[in-house]
Structure 1
Amino acid sequence: MEVDDLSLYRTKFSAAEDELLRKTVQKFGPRKWNSIAKHIPGRTARQCRDRFQNYLSPDLINGPWTQEEDQLLIQKVNEFGPCWSKINKFFVGRSPNNIKNRYNTHLIKIKNQTKKHQKKLVTKVQPVETHEGTEFHAEDVLTSKIWDEINTQDFFSPNFELLWFE
């Protein structure tokens, strides 16, 4: 069956399409995407493959992330950068797409919130007079040290307190 022009627009898979895709993958196996797509009206081989591999595969874990998984993800992003297919090898049952989405939607927010929190703390520090009579601006020292820590690859190191939000 040919894919018509309407299918070029991105539309969500329906529950019926998901079920048909599962059954068709069972029949043909999870590699023959051109054959599978012929049985899923209006869907390309790539759409079928992506949907199955990222959301429908029985091997996937689609449940909530644990704090341990988040810490491992942060560690691996620090190690490899945003190379999701490399990082995926450390996560049994999580798709590269799921891993990327977790990092980009959840962990980046935590990092930004922590930066804002640290900035607020630094601005509340008052100057202190030293024994030589000059003002010592702790804010200058703290700002430098905190921003050095925040802007390093080790931002989420075990020594740096991670604010956990669900």
Structure 2
Amino acid sequence: MDSRSKKQLINRYHRSLHPNMQRGRWSAQEDVMLLVAVKLYGDVSWSKVASMVPGRTHGQCRDRYMDNFAQRFVSGPFTSDEDCTLLQLVQKYGAGHWAMDELCFGIAKALSSRKECT
């Protein structure tokens, strides 16, 4: 064990060896607990979400939510309405500041069916 870091040991235990960890299919009750937790904490604080879903890790909660419940984003061509909205937003905020988080959030929120800025 000397060749393993403390973080590696903790992760191994919590992700693979913990006796209370659930594996396999999710129950309807677990799905409800997951959705309530995401509504309460949002989809960025997965450790907090997992604390409300006994037996599931933060990674399991994140994967379950993203694969089954997260809003699906449009990936095809932009519509003319989306183009018009995007042009209006760029005119309002400017085209040279794409890296600003608040700009990306504002544009992504206005075009909510499109994937958010990362």
Q: TM-score, normalised by structure 1?
A: 0.38
Deviations 1:88-139 (A, max 9, x none): 222111122221222223332xx428x89xxxxxxxxxxxxxxxxxxxxxxx
Cross-structure match for 1:78: 39
Greater Rg over alpha carbons, structure: 1
2:11 and 2:22 map into 1 onto residues whose CA distance is 16
Correspondence 1:105 to 2:82: no
The within-5 A match list for 1:71-150 is 71-82=32-43, 83-108=45-70, 111-112=71-72
Deviations 1:46-97 (A, max 9, x none): 1221121112111211121112322321222122112222222221111222
| SS of the residue 2:69 aligns to | helix
The within-5 A match list for 1:30-45 is 37-38=1-2, 41=3, 43-45=4-6
Superposed CA RMSD = 2.5
2:12 and 2:65 map into 1 onto residues whose CA distance is 20
Unaligned stretches of 5+ in structure 2? 76-111, 113-118
Cross-structure match for 1:67: 28
Q: Among all aligned residue pairs of Structure 1 and Structure 2, give the percentage whose two residues are the same amino acid.
A: 25
1:74 and 1:44 map into 2 onto residues whose CA distance is 34
Aligned partner (choices 35, 42, 53) of residue 14 of structure 2 = 53
Q: Which runs of 4+ in 1 moved over 3 A?
A: none
1:63 and 1:90 map into 2 onto residues whose CA distance is 18
Verify the 8 A CA contact 1:54 1:98 in the aligned structure 2: no
| Amino acid in structure 2 at the alignment position of 1:94 | R
Q: TM-score, normalised by structure 2?
A: 0.51
